């Protein structure tokens, strides 16, 4: 998996930034799903 990621990015800095962005996106999606479930349950 790490080798696949390395092929997409020119340097380590870009690679690390992409991992950070992925974590932030994942957290936002999780929060959005929880909020949606809470909103639906409250209807």
Write down the pTM of the prediction: 0.56
The rounded distance, in Å, linking the Cα atoms of 26 and 35 is: 14
Position 14 confidence tier, pLDDT thresholds 50, 70, 90? low
pLDDT at 5 over 90: no
pLDDT at 25 over 60: yes
Burial of 35 (0-12, 13-18, 19+ CB in 10 A): exposed
Cβ(23)–Cβ(36) below 8 Å: no
Mean pLDDT along residues 16-29 = 86
By three-state DSSP, how is residue 43 classified?
coil
Task: State the average pLDDT for the chain.
Answer: 79
Cβ(18)–Cβ(9) below 8 Å: yes
The rounded distance, in Å, linking the Cα atoms of 9 and 1 is: 13
- pLDDT score, position 22: 87
- pLDDT score, position 21: 86
């Amino acid at each position: 998996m790490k080798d696949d990621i390395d092929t997409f990015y020119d340097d380590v800095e870009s690679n690390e930034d992409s991992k950070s962005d992925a974590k932030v996106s994942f957290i936002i999606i999780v929060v959005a799903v929880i909020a949606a479930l809470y909103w639906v349950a409250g209807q």
